[in-house]
Structure 1
């Protein structure tokens, strides 16, 4: 098998879905049949996902999504990888495709002006511009655009409250950005709703900026929500901005605390990793439940007993599930 035989797809699409639960089951079944793994959210306002699979399987998946007229304009950010980036498939129906609490905001009606990566690059250093990171603390601490305003939030749902602190920026051009673009759809729309007049968003987010504009002036790495954890973005003027949680030295080596009760995800340098046996503190190092440390700080979730068909609730789908099982057993 070739070295980079897999794709990792990052995407979202705002489009009305009348019966999210029924579509969730259909979508889930397609993923199982085509060996697609990852995390997908389905709601009445659209879909949002990061998935992985063999290149041919991902091509089928993209055709499946874009073949539905509702999602025909879905844009996929495609990266290559040597293996699956997920251990299983998880498709959920939720009230929003990204939790913001801004259910009254519809990006299909009004949102910030989309800037392609090269347009964003050309504007970001102007004196009348503010670059606004709308991601959470653990994300922008690992990496962010040079001179970006970074909000102190643990979750995106805190963003609306934080906007109250940005009143003094209403005379500026506000350029929002996030990992793949989805948070900016509602973030920029909400800024407009709150009286900001000149609002933009980086189309495709940090990931597309790295692919199409070389990642220039993105400092550090980009946090991603798959088994890779962090990815390189900048191949022009890269730097490390995150600090070891224990000693404070520069490090972008992300580690899950070896104490499963704690399990925080923070940068820990290699030296401290070995000294603290993968734990984030003395207390966690001494915890009797501490997991053995193998030098990576990554702990594969226990998927014993994992059943990809678990979660099919509706009775009419039994025949489809049996059919899918027969296909799988005969392949």
Structure 2
């Protein structure tokens, strides 16, 4: 039996006094010696937690005992090391940042794409009248994605609504959406339906569940995850590495964060370039005075930064690293 487990889950279910719930839930998680990151919003929960198997079981039992979250589905990974260092549970406006906060416009509890179990998704994905749509960000699908999937040039899921107009050519086809665990598809598929796409589906449980129940067939590369592991293996049937080193072009599945905390960009980089550039995406970042020490992993404990790279456009970022 593995020493630890990591749980990935979400649940769209209204929470009254969500800010107080977040505080209380943090204390509960700490009482179980769990580490992880949970987002609490008025619309529900989105979390990844890690701990001893008995602590994880106690946590799942407690969540399922609450009528609001009884339908929550947990994706469970056995891990040798904890997937986080600390426990965070924070209140935010949405459990996944989409900019679609008005339940009168988008409400995953009322309308979403048809949920496809992994085996059904696998059977449908290669049909001629099907389009497989990846609703994740660039850094996620750059390291792994389904074969023949349509990807969007977005830095954050909140840009997805602006990209829907680029999908007009697919309105007469079946749209199969997918993401890491399913949470983004709940809103993405609902928005597609609202915008006139009639035949919309979503991969229930996302890439992670697909890997566990369908062997990950035809998912090329690795799946990006939001914890210390950075990426995980999915495909045990016909695996293939599709990502390349940003700096030299060599095939590699290793994804890191730039050692310059002002940049902190997610990108793929081979070990050779990693050591040569000291864990940075460029020579400019390598000489930045706040550069963090590179240990070969490219993962860093999050600390407050003066600049949030998610709020900087690619254009501004390129200008930043030149200065």
TM-score, structure 1 normalization: 0.88
Q: Which runs of 5+ in 1 are unaligned?
A: 304-331
Matched, 1:279 2:280: yes
Separation in structure 2 between the aligned mates of residue 80 and residue 174 of structure 1, nearest angstrom: 32
Q: Which of these residues, 5, 13, 16, is aligned with residue 15 of structure 1?
A: 13
Larger Rg: 1
Count of residues paired in the alignment:
301
Q: Deviations over 1:256-301 (max 9, x none)?
A: 2222332222111111112222222122223343333332223345
**Which residues in structure 2 correspond to 1:262-273 (within 5 Å)?**
262-273=263-274
Partner residue in 2 for 1:289: 290
Aligned counterparts of 2:88 and 2:154: Cα–Cα separation in 1: 26
Alignment of 1:132 with 2:133, yes or no, is: yes
Give the aligned partner of residue 118 of structure 1: 119
CA offset at residue 243 of structure 1?
1.2
Is residue 230–residue 256 contact of structure 2 (8 Å, CA) maintained in 1? Answer: no
Residue in 2 aligned with 1:75?
73
Single out whichever of 46-55 and 290-299 deviates more from structure 2.
290-299
CA drift of 1:168 comes to 1.4
**Cα distance, 1:229 vs. partner?**
0.3
The aligned counterpart of 1:156 is 157
Distance across 2 between alignment mates of 1:186 and 1:110: 9
Distance in 1, matches of 2:222 and 2:78, equals 17
CA distance in 2, matches of 1:160, 1:259: 30
Equivalent pair of 2:14/2:68 in contact (CA under 8 Å): yes
Whether the 8 Å CA contact 2:112–2:190 is kept in 1: the answer is yes
Alignment partner, residue 318 of structure 2: none
Provide the secondary structure at the position in 2 that maps to 1:149: coil
Q: Is 2:95 aligned against 1:97? A: yes
Structure-2 residue corresponding to 1:35: 33
From the superposition, tell whether residues 302 and 42 of structure 1 become closer, same or farther in structure 2 (CA, over 3 Å): closer
CA-to-aligned-CA distance 1:218-242 (integer Å, 9 cap, x gap): 0000000000000000011111111
Change (3 A) 1:43 1:261: closer
**1:315 alignment counterpart:** none
Report the counterpart of residue 254 of structure 1 in structure 2: 255
Deviation string, structure 1 residues 132-160 (Cα, Å, up to 9, x no partner): 00000000001000000001111111111
Matching residue of 2:60: 62
- Rounded to whole Å, the distance in 2 between the matches of 1:215 and 1:135 is 17
Could you give the per-residue CA deviations for residues 39-83 of structure 1, whole angstroms, max 9, x where no partner exists? 111111111111101000000000110100111111000001112
> For structure 2, which runs of at least 5 residues remain unmatched after alignment?
305-323
Using a 3 Å threshold, how does the CA distance of structure 1 residues 112 and 54 change in structure 2: closer, same or farther? same
User: Aligned partners of 1:287 and 1:43: how far apart in 2?
Assistant: 36
Partner of 1:195: 196
